[in-house]
Amino acid sequence: MHDIDPAFTALPLRALADAALSRARELGAEHADFRLERIRSQTLRLADAALETALDADDVGLSVRVVKDGTWGFAAGIDLTAEGAARVAAQAVEVAAVARAVNREPIELAPEPVHGERTWVSSYETDPFAVPTADKVALLAGWSRRLLSDDRVDHVDATLLQVKENKFFADLAGTVTTQQRVRLHPVVNAVGIADGRFDSMRTLAPPAGYGWEWLTGAHWDWDGELERIPELLAEKLAAPSVEAGVYDVVIDPSNLWLTIHESIGHATELDRALGYEAAYAGTSFATPDKLGSLQYGSEVMNITGDRTAEHGLATIGYDDEGVETQAFDIVSGGLFTGYQTDRRIARLTGGADRSNGCAFADSASSMPIQRMANVSLRPAEGGPSTDELISGVERGVYIVGDKSWSIDMQRYNFQFTGQRFYRIENGRLAGQLRDVAYQATTTDFWNSMEAVGGPQTYVLGGAFNCGKGQPGQVAPVSHGCPAALFRGVNILNALKEAGQ
């Protein structure tokens, strides 16, 4: 395990926390917590092997959240002195006092054990911020030139997003946590033009909670993927347009993770289901009256929320309320069995339930809200390979890679496309198709899942930029899944649906 970045630990973390929490206590807060965060980020973008953007950012600040007279108060600042921290605490209490007049529902927090002093660092080998920017640019440029050397590729875009996140948390109860996590998101996108039409083919490597080793070939076959892209792109450009109809569908993890995110991840956030949250993604059809009775999917469907998964983007040791993170069931054997919660929302479900550690703020200037865990579909032990799933389909479509999506504000009616699609005939792939979209309701889709692949097909996908809240916040989150077989799925011709 790496040490916490000394540039972060050199800050007066405990002194600032003590000043803020002492002031909040003096002013009568029933609850107070303090966060100090440093978020380093770097964005590199290349167009046709030429550096177009190199952006480095370093965001440092502190915040105090209180409950006073049953009302939230929150304030943040950048003055890293004891006086500044105490002033922010006083401002948070003042906010609570002003808001008390319009608060009709006292804030209560679910209980959480006091954890004392804890340190946690994510699992990675090489800090990407220790690698010279010139070396990163050289790697992306080399990949781009390699693709551009092929006549079937006309343009290449390459992007690398990197984040190192440090958080210090302390509350009046006595929990004190110091944490560090690293994540990267590399993308290479090739564009081809043929016979008056253009299309693209993107790498499938997901964003991940790794260090620089994620780009060196130790954990992902970059050479193999880049070698295949020109041929895949040319085949896609020449592929026939799909005939709309009902097909059996095998979906690769590189596509299915996004369907999980939209139709399960957001739908099982309890604040949405209760109507406390509707920004960005709406509320949810999976309301509390359905818990324990809704057949969300078929018997092979087992969904977990997990903030402890190694290399997961939502993985952390303790959330932004000092709750020790956990893994928990959301769907078991197809039955809807659990929600994602933070301390306040958990308290609304019966009075004493513990939070499952889903509070997160995207910076010190943001108040923590309930955010998504790594929500994943479990593979079948000893389950089939992707080829074996395909072999069980007479007439179908195999879908690889994510692209566009659409889903309603109840997380129920949806439509998804992908990077590439293959016709399946008599259990074998029979060339690529174009213009494919699959459409369903959430429960119809997941109940049509006949089989899930084995652990050998499991991949942890995800995104850096899940949006939620007002004002808006973004959060990183992963979704693992195996390949899976669905029967009788409605396939649309996206080009014709668009009136073209």
pLDDT tens digit string along 374-422?
999 999 999 999 999 999 999 999 999 999 999 999 999 999 999 999 9
Instruction: Return the exposure string of 108-142: e unless at least 16 CB atoms fall within 10 Å of the residue's CB, then b.
Output: bbbebeebeeeebbbebebbbbebeeeebbebbbe
Name every residue whose Cβ is closer than 8 Å to that of residue 26 and which is 6 or more positions away in sequence: none
Q: How far is CA 283 from CA 268, 344, 394, 408, 410, in A?
A: 10, 18, 38, 10, 5
Under the banding of pLDDT at 50, 70 and 90, the label for residue 25 is very high
Pairing type for strands 420-425 and 428-433 reads: antiparallel
Helix (H) or strand (E) holding 68: strand 50-68
Under the banding of pLDDT at 50, 70 and 90, the label for residue 281 is confident
Helix (H, G, I), strand (E, B) or coil at 491: strand
Name every residue whose Cβ is closer than 8 Å to that of residue 129 and which is 6 or more positions away in sequence: 40, 42, 162, 164
Instruction: Return the exposure string of 230-244: e unless at least 16 CB atoms fall within 10 Å of the residue's CB, then b.
Output: bebbbebbebeebeb
Amino acid of residue 383:
G
Helix axes 133-148, 222-238, angle to 10 degrees: 40
Helix (H, G, I), strand (E, B) or coil at 18: helix
Helix (H) or strand (E) holding 184: strand 176-194
Report the pLDDT value the prediction gives residue 350, as an integer from 0 to 100: 64
Report the pLDDT value the prediction gives residue 418, as an integer from 0 to 100: 97
CATH superfamily of 6-238: PmbA/TldD superfamily (3.30.2290.10)
Under the banding of pLDDT at 50, 70 and 90, the label for residue 108 is very high
Report the pLDDT value the prediction gives residue 377, as an integer from 0 to 100: 98
Cα–Cα distance measured from residue 205 to residue 185, given in angstroms and rounded to the nearest whole number: 8
Can you tell me the mean pLDDT for 53-70?
98
Name every residue whose Cβ is closer than 8 Å to that of residue 228 and which is 6 or more positions away in sequence: none
Nearest Cα neighbor of 64 from 20, 98, 114 is: 20
Amino acid of residue 416:
F
Helix (H) or strand (E) holding 67: strand 50-68
Can you tell me the mean pLDDT for 45-51?
98
- With beta carbons less than 8 A apart as the criterion, state whether 108 and 342 touch: no
Report the pLDDT value the prediction gives residue 451, as an integer from 0 to 100: 98
Report the pLDDT value the prediction gives residue 198, as an integer from 0 to 100: 92
**Each residue of 231-245: pLDDT tens digit?**
999 999 999 999 999
Does this model's pTM top 0.75?
A: yes
Q: What residues does each domain of the chain span? A: 6-238, 245-497
Please say if the pLDDT value at position 432 is more than 90.
Answer: yes
**Each residue of 329-361: pLDDT tens digit?**
999 999 999 999 999 999 987 666 899 999 999
